[in-house]
Amino acid sequence: MNIMQRLTFAGLLVCAVPAALANPGSATTVAAGPTSNREWRLIGGGAYEQHYSPLKQVNDATVGTLGLAWYADMPTTDGLTGVPLVAGGVVYQSGALGMVWAHDLKTGKLLWSYDAKIRFPTGLVASWGARLSRGLALWQDTVLKATGDCRLIALNRRTGTRLWEAQSCDPLAYKTITGAPRVGAGKVFIGNSNADSGVGRGFVDAYDIGTGKHLWRFYTIPGDPAQPFENPAMEMASKTWGKDYWKHSGGGSPWEGITYDPKTNLVYIGTDGPAPFAPTTRESGGGDELFTNAIVAVNADTGAYVWHYSTTPGDGWNYAATMPVVIADLVIGGAQRHVILSAPKNGFFYVLDARNGKLVNEPKPILPVNWASRIDMKTGRPVLTQDAKYWEKGKEGAVVSPSPMGAHNWMPMSYSPETGLVYIPVTDYPVHASVDWANSVGRVDIDFYYALTHHLSFKGTLLAWDPVKQEARWRHDVGPPYEGGTLSTAGNLVFQGTTTGTFNAYRADTGERVWSYPTASGILGAPSTVEVSGRQYILVAAGSGTTSAVGFATRFSGRASGPPRLLAFALNGSAKLPATAAVAETFPQPPAPLADAAVIARGKALWDENGCELCHGVGAIGGLGSVGDLRRTNAATYDLFADIVRGGLYKDAGMPVFADAITDADLPALKAYLISVAWQAYREAPQAP
């Protein structure tokens, strides 16, 4: 029996090949953190993506004098999310709509900018993805940038001129790229997203950084078995899917969490779940549907499968495992282990052996979960409960915790070797889910406001987690759900921004908040830090993130709507942000009366079925970026409704054309739904004069 047959026969959640096949790197010493205190070239600072710095000029004793050194207003309406990267005294920042900027580290002066010029019109998913960019990568004198229309671009670090460009996916086939490229061993690795559409197979590509030559592709789910499988891993995976899976299911998108480990020469790929969400609509037959909701390790040189671990097999809750992982060397059970630390959406914290993917200790929940009672250490599988299986409960549905937004989403967590703790931005709120059985595609209805209306937990928490003991050291409630990523330092500090517009520092050992700065702009990405000419800078990008990224979670929490900015802090910094007067959010009276409830319901169904919330937000709560707030639509714009939705009037600005999906007869219902949410906003907010 060969190794692949043995893995298939075992039928276990954890699969591994002998360590010798992993082709570990030859280097005996690997830099876990930044290779230089003067530079922050990778999103997580170093190869291990720990988001940790050994700098301590800014520490828990001196942080009280931390002030704004400079700020740069960015020429964009979409907020920033990527971690600021630093090399050679220059700060590199990624933006939406294909933008990259380079600023002087000491002064904030703009040195150059690059516009990839998104190729509109494009598909719905790509139009959404074009408005979100989670960062860049630096390799020697090359800046790597991915765009929403599926391009990977290499730029000269000093001039911003384009070196090469590659088309990694098809923006007209429900694909986009929102994540940051990852680099290592002279290669750049990039994944993609299908925005939970259930269309297509996820995959990761590897390119030569110097030339842009495509080196390999690893698919994360199998294709049509009537065609030759790309490799034995795809043949193995196909046996875990149901009948005719390739006709009506898709997923496994590796839209963020890709990490290169120079110690093992492996690339760890975090994958999204299968779609449609409800297992009954996928005819999964109870299979694990590999490699969705998994961390998959592949050989960095060849893309060959090495091992995988599935966090939520046969998922029904959109519990992706695409969250950025951290690599660390920890002493567990009296032995030093090279491990992967992962906090996926499903609410459990995982410590995996980086060489074979096996559990190192028993995963524990980082917040209340009701879909599983525990993770079985013998099998590696979750022990499911009946509580959250909404697809088995008819129209009544079920309360689900964590929500499909996840206990931890894409915002980076950090690990401090000083404290031995992982600092996780946790999203804590349950939702109600049910399946609309009358809908032929088995659409899942999710009430994202259920926690608010039923007085349940609805908060964002900064959690300090001990990965060895699998327990919380401390928690600090920081605001509404969906808060920024973290940076930890040797100065006994953890930095985190919030969507309500504050940038905070906490003692890493106790969680005491010791510093706060009002930025007026929401912060989702993680900070970075460097020291140049004897001065330590803390850098963070601010803004809404994207038009709809935080709209649903901050509806009742006073989200910050300040402009996109790059902020630099240092001890005794004396710069001042412009004064921003607090303005109550007002809405004009809608241009038409409420329609019949049945018509509004039909309009909402059209809204959901066509993925309108991707750009415009859940319940049309958007308006923080390049896509306008539809609740403010006036009569003149409604007069052009058919031209906009079906005719392509705004296609060059990125509005998808829905001529094939929405008919002229559908337009009155869709308009009625938008007017209904406009009336709701008008009644809840102070009226405009």
User: Residue 23: what pLDDT?
Assistant: 41
Q: 3-state class of 265 per DSSP?
A: coil
Q: pLDDT of 460-477, one tens digit each?
A: 999 999 999 999 999 999
Q: Do 679 and 554 fall within a single domain?
A: no
Amino acid 612: pLDDT: 86
Of 579, 613, 644, which residue is a domain's last? Answer: 579
Asked if residue 520 is part of any domain, the answer here is yes
Closest CA to 224 of 256, 206, 252, 249: 249
Q: d(Cα 247, Cα 226) in Å, to the nearest integer?
A: 12
Sheet containing strand 335-342, strands side by side: 326-332, 335-342, 348-353, 364-365
Could you give the percent of the chain with pLDDT greater than 90?
Answer: 73
Domain presence at residue 336: no
Tokens representing 10 are 């075992």
- pLDDT for the residue 512: 98
CATH number, residue 671: 1.10.760.10
Query: Would you say 167 and 176 are in contact if contact means Cβ atoms under 8 Å apart?
Result: no
State the average pLDDT over residues 398-423.
97
Q: What is the pTM of this model?
A: 0.93
Residues 26-60 pLDDT 10s: 333 456 777 789 999 999 999 999 999 999 999 99
pLDDT of residue 508: 98
* Sign of the Cα pseudo-torsion (484, 129, 631, 79, in order): positive
Both 572 and 605 in a single domain? no
615: in domain:
yes
Q: Which of 238-252, 468-482, 563-577, 639-653 has the lowest mean pLDDT?
A: 238-252
pLDDT of residue 623 exceeding 50, the answer is: yes
Last residue of a domain, one of 548, 579, 610: 579
Residue 579: the pLDDT is: 84
Residues 427 and 510 in one domain: yes
The pLDDT of residue 9 is: 27
pLDDT band at 227 (very low <50, low <70, confident <90, very high): very high
Report which of 284, 196, 296, 201 is spatially closest to residue 240, judged by C-alpha positions: 284
- More confidently predicted of 307 and 500: 307
> Is the pLDDT higher at 165 or at 681?
165
Domain assignment present for residue 530? The answer is yes
pLDDT at 149: 97
Percent of the chain clearing pLDDT 70 (strictly above):
90
Q: Which helix (H) or strand (E) holds 605?
A: helix 597-609
Q: Which of 207, 200, 206 is nearest to 218 (CA)?
A: 206
* Beta-strand relationship, 52-53 and 486-489: parallel
- Residue 135 falls in which region: left (phi positive, over 0), alpha (psi -120 to 50) or beta: left
CA distance 330 to 339: 7
Cα 228 from Cα 461, distance rounded (Å): 47
Quote the pLDDT of residue 558. Answer: 56
Exposure pattern of 607-637 as b/e (b: 16+ CB <10 Å)?
Answer: bbebbbbbbbbbbbbbbbbbbbbbbbbeeee
- Whether 623 and 496 share a structural domain: no
Q: What residue numbers bound the domain in which 426 lies?
A: 54-74+402-579
Q: What mean pLDDT comes out for the span 136-154?
A: 97
The overall average pLDDT reported for the chain is: 89
On whether both 439 and 535 belong to a single domain, the answer is: yes
Residue type, 97: L
Q: Which tokens belong to 396?
A: 């009544």
**173-221 per-position pLDDT tens digit:** 999 999 999 999 999 999 999 988 888 999 999 999 999 999 999 999 9
Domain boundary at 527, 545, 579, which?
579
Residue 611 in contact with residue 195, Cβ under 8 Å? yes
Does a structural domain hold residue 675?
A: yes
**Within a domain: 93:** no
CATH number at residue 566: 2.40.128.630
**Is the pLDDT at 590 greater than 90, yes or no?**
yes
How many other CB atoms are found less than 10 A from the CB of residue 529?
29
Per-residue pLDDT averaged across 331-347, rounded?
A: 96
Residue 359 phi, psi dihedral angles, 5° rounding? -65, 135
pLDDT band at 101 (very low <50, low <70, confident <90, very high): very high
Same domain, 427 and 516: yes
Mark whether 420 and 537 lie in a shared domain.
yes
Q: Is residue 466 domain-shared with residue 574, that is, in the same domain?
A: yes
Answer yes or no: is pLDDT of 334 > 80: yes
Residue 19 binned pLDDT confidence (cut-offs 50, 70, 90): very low
Split at pLDDT 50, 70, 90, the class of 275 is: confident
441 inside domain: yes
Is residue 689 pLDDT above 60, yes or no?
no
State the average pLDDT over residues 279-292.
Answer: 83
Q: How many CA atoms lie within 13 A of 562 on its CB side?
A: 25
Place of tokens 């004198």: 141
Listed range (116-120, 220-224, 448-452) with the worst mean pLDDT? 448-452
What is the reported pLDDT for 684?
A: 82
Same domain, 521 and 634: no
Mean pLDDT calculated for residue range 370-392: 97
Residue 585 lies in a domain: no
For 6-51, give the DSSP string.
HHHHH--SEEE--GGGG---S-S---SS-S-TT-B-STTSSTT---
- How many structural domains comprise the chain? 2
Both 537 and 605 in one domain: the answer is no
> What is the mean predicted confidence (pLDDT) over 270-298?
89
Give yes or no: residues 548 and 424 share one domain: yes
Q: Measured between alpha carbons, how far is 268 from 256 in angstroms, rounded to an integer? A: 11
Type and span of the H or E element at 667: helix 667-684
- pLDDT band for 1, please (50, 70, 90 cuts): very low
Q: Over the Cα atoms of the chain, what is R_g?
A: 24
Confidence check: pLDDT of 12 > 80: no
Question: Whose CA is closest to 15, among 221, 291, 269, 274?
Answer: 291
Would you report the helix, strand and coil content of the chain in percent, each value rounded to 5?
15, 30, 55
Integer Cα distance of 347 and 536 in angstroms: 35
Nearest to 310 by CA among 16, 17, 23, 22: 16
Residues 625, 528 share a domain: no
Average of per-residue pLDDT across 246-263: 92
pLDDT in tens, 534-580: 999 999 999 865 544 445 555 555 567 788 999 999 999 999 999 87
